[in-house]
Structure 1
């Protein structure tokens, strides 16, 4: 009888220990799955969940805040993720926050990562839908990496061919690197460039000296730049020169008009210069006038010996002698 009681006690103890372990496991799993924590429901719609399963964790700012409760098909080919999130972190998650799918380590389980959001937006409420951000596709990344590797191989082969041609002296670069005469010419060119640079520096220095001399007091350019009276006088002289030039232009215009008149035959001078017939007539008139004047002089000389005028001429001669 005692043995039976002892066995019953031992069995009871093991049963109690098993029940305690079971309760502890349930409590532990429930704590990890946030089963006994007051929570709210949030959701997001993805084109591809990349193997995300029910029970995977939900993270926010590096802290686990909930789990994936359901994975449902949505629309034609999308997937809706429904998450249980602790109610105490609701005030930190904004309505404009985003949800994306990440990994718990390099090869760990898939997780939901909630991030972003601005303080201007209100906090989320139960049943709100977050904007889904598609994660980087690992397969596409590998395809891109493979393509880049192929491109790198092609670049390496081309570089190998290029270096071979350079070593053989082909092309401009190869010729420069293998032709000693061309290399010497290149050195001379660099030397000439260096000399030209030195000369340019000297010229710049001389120009600086020239500019400094221009800025010295007593220099004409310095006086023109700083002496207001001299500037005023120079400006007046320029104005006078401008007026003189204007008058000269006007006089030239008037002379041009006079010249045009002289080239025409509707005036006396124009006729004298341009009408040959009138010029001949004028010439004959002058000849006749000269001949008349000579005849007049001869007539006056003859009057001196005529009887009526002889006494008057003698009286004039005596008056001239007295003077």
Structure 2
């Protein structure tokens, strides 16, 4: 068995075989890469709406702080436009040029409102609001004011208002403030109300005046009680006005009963006079005593009524209706 002949260390390596059509393959690779890059660029441009028909909208604002190129203009949370450029107008106002796709332009109307909201956290947001969808469509190249709402700008105003509020609160609750004096007066009034004189001491002032006022009030109450007792005994006691009135009413009832009996007799006589025409003269003779009897009863009733008017002080013009 023969051993292989050792190769020298400095001997050159064998060269690789040449690649067939290397120039063609390299050119084909370059063309393929160019097509891929161009396709990606075209797709990105299509995705960004570069080939879509758009109309222009100009938003006017005092400043464009927070607005960047490429920012979306949203309507109900969906993008309906994109900021294409920001420029400074001749009047010193910022002009935000927005491209609105034709397919989304129907959401924007001539009465739409555009706002720029700057929050404490996060970037600014461009929003569109349309109150009446039936209004005329927004024309191409229309310029609309941009309402800016900056939450950070309100912080200094809130701090100033809070500082003023704290100063007013400190002045209100100070040692010699009107509130402190009012509370002291209320405490003094409460102390007087809880004192021996009570509300009377509060009204009278010092203790001496309150004692005099209490004494006068007690004397007045005693007089009032005595007057009420005398009036009660005079009106409702034995021999009083009510007792006399009750006796008078009893007498009046008796007289009225007599009068009713006389009138019933008179009715009977009249009926008999109408039934018996031949005895009219006798019936007429019977009517005279009855008439005298009725007149006598009526005079008694009149006297009794006068007596009631004299004794009864609550009704000056009593009216008694006879049956």
What is the TM-score when the length of structure 1 is the normalising length? 0.44
What is the TM-score when the length of structure 2 is the normalising length? 0.44
| Larger helix share, 1 or 2 | 1
